[in-house]
Amino acid sequence: NRYLGITIISTITVKMHSSMKYLRSKLCHYMRPKCHPIFYDSNINSLGTVRLNIYQAFLLCAMKFHCYMRSMPYSSISKPELLHVIKKTFRYMHSLIVSRMQDMELQSNVRPVLKLRRKETNWLGLSAYIRVLQKKQSRYKDLLALLIAEAEGYGHMDRDSDSLCYAVDDSHSSMFWKFKY
């Protein structure tokens, strides 16, 4: 894996006077290559694998988020505004996956199948951010409270879905906890 043995911050470019707009742009830019239809096509991936692919993309996105935040004056940033930026990446990813699946169908004989609801994407994103930022808890106490409250609005989706439970099982993402961020 390209992130083993190096710090994630060394893989990103940070402007000295980064804004929230810049942060949103960088996070969405990171998500673009992660939205290839091959990762989410239920013709070739199990429901658990589709959701695991999304969860792992958000794990790394959350780690990059932390690296960007380290370079910004965090205390002056509105936590609800940060939550808004994070949720925007969830919407962006889901919309881009849907769009790329439709494009693939129009441009080729391939008929990809997407069995994924927007609320599952949001829940997986929230779960990933909570999991990553809990490791840096002292810095993100207020933001974590907002993320947890947002996740609670979805209920315990992992209890109702084997594929969501599979996706957030730490044993399937153990490599990520070796990354330095």
**Residues near 40 by beta carbon (within 8 Å), at least 6 away in sequence:** 50, 53, 54, 97, 101, 112, 114, 116
C-alpha span between 25 and 89 (Å, rounded): 9
Chain segment 76-127, per-residue pLDDT in tens: 788 999 999 999 999 999 999 999 999 988 888 788 999 999 999 999 999 9
Residue-number span of the structural domain to which 134 is assigned: 8-178
- CATH code of the domain containing 18: 1.10.357
74 assigned to some structural domain: yes
Question: How far is the C-alpha of 97 from the C-alpha of 118, rounded, in Å?
Answer: 10
Task: Give the model confidence (pLDDT) of 18-68 as tens digits.
Answer: 677 878 888 998 899 899 999 999 999 999 999 999 999 999 999 999 988
DSSP state at residue 115 = -
| Confidence bin at 148 (pLDDT 50/70/90) | very high
Residue 3 lies in a domain: no
H-type helices in 46-117, by residue range?
Answer: 47-70, 79-107
Q: Count structural domains, the chain.
A: 1
